[in-house]
A and B are shown apart, each in its own frame.
Chain A
Amino acid sequence: MYYFKHAFESILGNRLIYFLSTGTICISLLLFGAFVLISANFSNWVQTWERSLSLSVYLEDGTGEEAKEEIRRTIEVLPGAQIKAYISKDQAMRDLAETLGSQAGFLEGLTKNPLPASYEVFFRNGDLSREELKEIKESLEKVHGVDEVQYSEQWLEQIEGFVSIIRILGLVVGGMLCVAVLFIVTNTIKLAIYSRRDEIEIYKLVGATDWFVKTPFLIEGAIQGILGAGVALSVLFTAYSLFTVRTIQLFGLPVMDVIFLNTAQCALIALLGLVLGLLGSFVAIGRFFRF
Chain B
Amino acid sequence: MIQLFRVSKYFGAIAALKEVTVRIRKGEFVFLTGPSGAGKTTLLRLMFGAEQPTEGQILINGINLSRIGGSKLDLLRRKMGFVFQDFKLLNRRTVLQNVALASEVTGEKWATTRKRTHQLLKAVGLAVKEQAYPMELSGGEQQRVAIARAMINDPLILLADEPTGNLDPEITRDIMILFRSINLRGTTVVIATHNKELLRNTDQRIVFLQNGMIHE
Enumerate 25 A-B pairs (CB-CB under 8 Å) in ascending A order.
A13-B92, A198-B90, A201-B88, A203-B101, A204-B74, A205-B48, A205-B88, A206-B77, A206-B149, A206-B153, A207-B74, A207-B75, A207-B76, A207-B77, A207-B78, A207-B79, A207-B80, A207-B102, A207-B106, A208-B74, A209-B71, A209-B74, A209-B75, A210-B70, A212-B105
- Measured between beta carbons, the chain A residues less than 8 angstroms from B31 are none
A202 interfacial by beta-carbon distance below 8 Å: yes
- Measured between beta carbons, the chain A residues less than 8 angstroms from B149 are 206
Could you tell me the distance between the alpha carbons of A199 and B74 in the complex, rounded to whole angstroms?
A: 16
Could you tell me the distance between the alpha carbons of A212 and B88 in the complex, rounded to whole angstroms?
A: 19
Cβ B101 vs Cβ A206 within 8 A? yes
- Measured between beta carbons, the chain B residues less than 8 angstroms from A208 are 74, 105
- Measured between beta carbons, the chain B residues less than 8 angstroms from A243 are none
For B76, the closest partner residue in chain A by CB is A207
A251 interfacial by beta-carbon distance below 8 Å: no
Give the top 6 A-B pairs by smallest Cβ distance, nearest first: A207-B78, A207-B77, A206-B102, A208-B105, A209-B74, A209-B71
Return B136 CB to nearest CB of chain A, in Å: 18
Could you tell me the distance between the alpha carbons of A60 and B90 in the complex, rounded to whole angstroms?
A: 92
B174 interfacial by beta-carbon distance below 8 Å: no
- Measured between beta carbons, the chain B residues less than 8 angstroms from A2 are 104
Return A257 CB to nearest CB of chain B, in Å: 55
- The contact size tier of chain B is 20 to 34
Cβ A202 vs Cβ B101 within 8 A? yes
- Measured between beta carbons, the chain B residues less than 8 angstroms from A206 are 77-78, 101-102, 105, 149, 153
Which residue numbers of A lie inside 8 Å of B, CB to CB? Answer: 2, 13, 198-199, 201-210, 212
Type the 1/0 row for B63-90, where 1 means its CB is closer than 8 Å to any CB of A.
0000000110011111110100000101
Return B117 CB to nearest CB of chain A, in Å: 13
14 additional contacts (CB under 8 A) given A205-B48, A206-B105, A209-B70: A13-B92, A198-B90, A199-B90, A201-B88, A203-B105, A204-B74, A205-B77, A206-B77, A207-B79, A207-B80, A207-B102, A207-B153, A209-B74, A210-B71
Return B93 CB to nearest CB of chain A, in Å: 9
Could you tell me the distance between the alpha carbons of A2 and B113 in the complex, rounded to whole angstroms?
A: 14
Could you tell me the distance between the alpha carbons of A13 and B181 in the complex, rounded to whole angstroms?
A: 39
Could you tell me the distance between the alpha carbons of A199 and B97 in the complex, rounded to whole angstroms?
A: 12
- Measured between beta carbons, the chain B residues less than 8 angstroms from A205 are 48, 50, 77, 82, 88
- Measured between beta carbons, the chain A residues less than 8 angstroms from B50 are 205
Return A5 CB to nearest CB of chain B, in Å: 10
Could you tell me the distance between the alpha carbons of A205 and B75 in the complex, rounded to whole angstroms?
A: 11
Return B159 CB to nearest CB of chain A, in Å: 10
Given known pairs A207-B77, A209-B74, A210-B71, the reply for A202 and B105 (CB within 8 Å) is no
For A201, the closest partner residue in chain B by CB is B88
- Measured between beta carbons, the chain A residues less than 8 angstroms from B76 are 207
- Measured between beta carbons, the chain B residues less than 8 angstroms from A203 are 101, 105
Could you tell me the distance between the alpha carbons of A205 and B88 in the complex, rounded to whole angstroms?
A: 10
Could you tell me the distance between the alpha carbons of A212 and B90 in the complex, rounded to whole angstroms?
A: 18
- Measured between beta carbons, the chain B residues less than 8 angstroms from A13 are 92
Cβ B90 vs Cβ A202 within 8 A? yes
List B141-199 residues whose CB lies under 8 Å from chain A: 149, 153
Could you tell me the distance between the alpha carbons of A209 and B50 in the complex, rounded to whole angstroms?
A: 14
Could you tell me the distance between the alpha carbons of A157 and B80 in the complex, rounded to whole angstroms?
A: 73
Could you tell me the distance between the alpha carbons of A182 and B149 in the complex, rounded to whole angstroms?
A: 38
- Measured between beta carbons, the chain B residues less than 8 angstroms from A199 are 90
- Measured between beta carbons, the chain A residues less than 8 angstroms from B88 are 198, 201-202, 205
- Measured between beta carbons, the chain A residues less than 8 angstroms from B106 are 207
- Measured between beta carbons, the chain B residues less than 8 angstroms from A209 are 70-71, 74-75, 105
Which of B80, B90, B104, B105 has most chain A Cβ within 10 Å?
B105
Return A141 CB to nearest CB of chain B, in Å: 77
Could you tell me the distance between the alpha carbons of A199 and B104 in the complex, rounded to whole angstroms?
A: 13
- Measured between beta carbons, the chain A residues less than 8 angstroms from B82 are 205
- Measured between beta carbons, the chain A residues less than 8 angstroms from B153 are 206-207
Cβ A207 vs Cβ B105 within 8 A? yes
Could you tell me the distance between the alpha carbons of A202 and B80 in the complex, rounded to whole angstroms?
A: 13
Could you tell me the distance between the alpha carbons of A210 and B69 in the complex, rounded to whole angstroms?
A: 11
